[in-house]
């Protein structure tokens, strides 16, 4: 009598997983079902922590189920154990999402985008913090008007902890709060990595929905330390329209896509997309060219989160501790708010698409 696979599958549906009560076919515990003359073979996937008695019972129950429809069949079952891999315990469990803001080169306004993204998310009702990870060239204190501020140290169970400095309702930490503005920072890789880890482990970050990381330009030690220290939700790439900026941004983007880094690109922000003079508010002058942001988004298989204009009336704001999104210029404010909204949308899409755990098969 020829063995019918569909009848075997229906018979195995009568075997239940003792933990979930679901049948082993629906629970996807049966793999590689094959028939050859009077032989039936398949793999049975069982949790690694299942006791041997239950494993044996399931094994015999499967044999009995197949023999109930094909009494002469020889049933061969290969048991595999499955290990549920859960995410490692975070060193900052109070922070739900970590967003890296990166660029391939300096001078594209990455820090401006990072700070205004943080403020935009805050305006949308989120709890947001920002970390200035550009250790060699920290600019956050200047942009927030906090050049003379120093973080407090608080004793927690005998351990000194850094209290982030808050402004506009956003806690922040930066190397610029620790050194003098004119002091040169000379650090080798291991010490640099230690500072980034300290900004996570030794800072008293409050409960946050988003922590924005303002990365230094390029693809160096700080970027690698970040992805080795915490789980990064995604990266926002910043570029300007011109070709040289785009070429460097592609290199930065490709670093995040390396298998041992594997950080999703949430999208691209094109900064200085056009220039608008104060006396001609309706005019747009594409002094750096056009299309760089769209091209980078296409190459990263992501989206253009927004285009930020260079508006003469508000250029001095950021250097005086008043970020662009808090100025009265409606064009710039709306551009940054759009970036914040689009970033939230991309994070929601990613979180919905990613399963909470993954299964890895280990043969026993």
Which residue ranges are tagged as binding site for ATP?
104-111
Query: Is 268 in contact with 300 (CB distance < 8 Å)?
Result: yes
For residue 122 the two structure tokens come to: 């805050």
Which DSSP symbol is given to 177?
G
Q: How far is it, in rounded angstroms, from Cα 81 to Cα 142?
A: 56
Pairing, β 358-363 against β 265-276: unpaired
DSSP notation for 194-237: HHHHHHHHSB---SEEEEEEEPPSSSSHHHHHHHHHS---EEEE
Query: Is 150 in contact with 308 (CB distance < 8 Å)?
Result: no
Query: Is 61 in contact with 49 (CB distance < 8 Å)?
Result: no
Show the CA angle centred on residue 183, arms to residues 182 and 189, nearest 5°: 135
Please, which residues have CB within 8 angstroms of residue 48's CB and are 6 or more apart in sequence? 81, 82, 83, 362
Q: What's the half-sphere exposure (Cβ side, CA atoms, 13 Å) at 172?
A: 31
Residues tagged in the binding site annotation: 104-111
Q: How far is it, in rounded angstroms, from Cα 284 to Cα 274?
A: 6
């Amino acid at each position: 009598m020829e063995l019918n696979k569909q009848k075997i599958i229906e018979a195995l549906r009568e075997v239940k997983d003792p933990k979930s009560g679901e049948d082993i076919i629906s629970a996807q515990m049966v793999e590689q079902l094959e028939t050859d003359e009077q032989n039936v073979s398949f793999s049975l996937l069982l949790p690694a922590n299942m006791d041997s008695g239950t494993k044996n019972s399931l094994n015999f129950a499967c044999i009995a189920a197949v023999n109930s429809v094909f009494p002469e069949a020889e049933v061969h079952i290969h048991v595999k154990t499955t290990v549920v891999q859960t995410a490692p315990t975070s060193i900052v469990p109070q922070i739900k999402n970590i967003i890296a803001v990166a660029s391939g080169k300096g001078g594209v306004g990455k820090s401006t985008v990072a700070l205004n993204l943080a403020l935009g998310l805050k305006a949308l009702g989120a709890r947001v913090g920002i970390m200035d990870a550009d250790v060699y060239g920290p600019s956050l204190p200047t942009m927030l008007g906090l050049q003379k501020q120093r973080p407090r140290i608080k004793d927690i169970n005998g351990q000194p902890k850094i209290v982030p400095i808050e402004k506009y309702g956003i806690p922040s930490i930066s190397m610029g709060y620790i050194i003098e503005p004119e002091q040169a920072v000379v650090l080798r890789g291991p010490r640099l990595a230690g500072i980034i880890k300290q900004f996570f482990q030794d800072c008293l970050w409050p409960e946050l929905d988003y922590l924005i990381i303002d990365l230094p330009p390029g693809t160096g030690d700080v970027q690698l330390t970040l992805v080795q220290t915490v789980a990064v939700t995604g990266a926002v790439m910043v570029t300007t329209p011109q070709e040289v900026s785009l070429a460097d941004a592609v290199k930065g983007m490709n670093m995040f896509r390396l298998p041992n880094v594997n950080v999703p690109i949430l999208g691209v922000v094109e900064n200085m997309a056009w220039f608008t003079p104060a006396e001609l508010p309706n005019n747009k002058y594409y002094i750096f060219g056009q299309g760089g942001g769209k091209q980078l988004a296409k190459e990263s298989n992501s989206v253009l989160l927004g285009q930020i204009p260079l508006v003469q009336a508000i250029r001095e704001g950021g250097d005086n501790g008043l970020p662009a999104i808090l100025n009265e210029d409606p064009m710039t404010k709306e551009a940054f708010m759009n970036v914040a909204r689009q970033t939230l949308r991309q994070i929601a899409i990613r979180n919905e698409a990613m399963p909470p755990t993954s299964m890895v098969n280990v043969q026993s």
